[in-house]
Amino acid sequence: MKNINVLISGSSVAGPALAYWLHRHGFTPTIVERAPALRDGGYAVDFRGEAHLSVLRQMGLLADIERSKTGVGAMSYVNSAGKTQAKLPADLFAGDVEILRGDLARILYDATKEHTEYIFGDSITSLTEDAHGVTVTFERGAPRRFDLVIGADGLHSNTRRLAFGPEEQFVKHLGVHCAIFTTANHLGLDHTGHAYRTAGRLVAMYSARHNTEAKAVFYFASPMLDLDRRDVARQQAVLAEQFAGNGWQSDRLLHDMRYAPDFYFDSVGQVHMDTWSRGRVALVGDAAYCPSSLSGMGSGLALVGAYILAGELAAAHGDHRVAFSRYEQEMREYATGCQKMGDGVAKLMVPGNQLLASLLNRYYKIMPYLPGKNMATKIARKAAENITLRDYRDLARR
């Protein structure tokens, strides 16, 4: 086995999942994370289909995830007075199991912390590759040498920028921005959610952590905004400008936003690349093939990608050129199918005019009585299951 020492950038989902499998196959993973600690909060993510669940079972994490699942049922669309107008089935949103992103990150961290070096509060500033490895410089720490570097650092991947080029070359903005934060469950939601849609805007709440809190979610249509991703005050000001006087719970939630410990704001986009590797650097998860947060496929895709990348490295005995090529061959069609789930969803979630918003609300109201009412759910499940995973267990060294 060669190329044993692997640096991974990002500690959300793909990074720790990759570290888990690399360790199982005899590699030594190190994770660097810009945030000073694990990020709590975040939106709910889901896993659906045997591909996702089989990986979680092999990791021994499915039971832990089941214990922490949101258990959210059907989502109700309401009018400005809060009266239910339509309900969409839970499987359309939650898959087989749904969990808060922060809770998932904690489970993955606990499963890897004993055999993975975690470096919090730092980030990569340069990558210099030679025939024998990569010299990595950091914003705060001393330079170090690694055999391979893997970017698992999301839609706005720093690793992708350093190794492949500017973000604008690879990220497709879907015309929507989103915000999410934790708030009090003042509606008394019981494992359910409410959503209110107007022209170009959607605001929603759903219960979390056994109804002890709720998540507030905002989506609004907009061209790409030139905002500093770390300027929370400006992001909150933009959100207030968009939703002030919007109706339903909008103003109450905008007030609560100022006190939220985990406010998150970002554009909604996809990542499209011709290749996911360059030399000794490769990408996994959203950094390589983000399907967008509206697709419901991101975390499952990251999980499967990490499993395959680590497995192919083991199968190739650490030969990155062979492994990276095989990884792309195994993942490309699957990633493309999952990305298609995000295409067009933005316009349906956040219609551009009030007429279309009203028509969609009426359609959702009668949808349970129409033929093909479960079509969207079946399409999502088909995309999630459209891969046959290779069994790498015979390659595991631990």
pLDDT tens track for 287-345: 999 998 887 788 999 999 999 999 999 999 999 999 999 999 999 999 998 888 776 67
Is residue 383 one of the residues assigned to a domain? yes
What is the predicted pLDDT for the residue at 397?
58
Rounded to whole angstroms, the Cα distance separating 276 from 96 reads 29
Question: Whole-number mean pLDDT of the chain?
Answer: 90
pTM above 0.75, yes or no: yes
Is residue 357 one of the residues assigned to a domain? no
Q: Give pLDDT tens digits for 359-386.
A: 666 666 666 555 554 666 677 778 888 8
Rounded to whole angstroms, the Cα distance separating 170 from 173 reads 10
Is residue 367 one of the residues assigned to a domain? no
Q: What is the domain range of residue 141?
A: 5-348+378-395
Is residue 171 one of the residues assigned to a domain? yes
Lowest mean pLDDT among 40-49, 259-268, 349-358: 349-358
Rounded to whole angstroms, the Cα distance separating 192 from 306 reads 31
Helix (H/G/I), strand (E/B), else coil: 234: helix
What is the predicted pLDDT for the residue at 398?
46
The answer to whether 178 and 293 are in contact (CB under 8 A) is yes
Helix (H/G/I), strand (E/B), else coil: 225: coil
Lowest mean pLDDT among 157-166, 255-264, 361-370: 361-370
Residue 222 has pLDDT above 80, yes or no: yes
Name the CA dihedral angle for 232, 238, 239, 241, rounded to a multiple of 10 degrees: 150
Q: Determine how many CB atoms are found less than 10 A away from the CB of residue 4.
A: 14
The answer to whether 96 and 46 are in contact (CB under 8 A) is yes
Rounded to whole angstroms, the Cα distance separating 188 from 255 reads 18
Q: Give the CATH number, domain containing residue 102.
A: 3.50.50.60
Into how many domains does the chain fold?
A: 1
Q: Give pLDDT tens digits for 1-25.
A: 899 999 999 999 999 999 999 999 9
Mean pLDDT of 28-51: 89
Is residue 353 one of the residues assigned to a domain? no
Amino acid identity at 32: V
- Could you tell me the two tokens for 124? 């990569």
Is residue 299 one of the residues assigned to a domain? yes
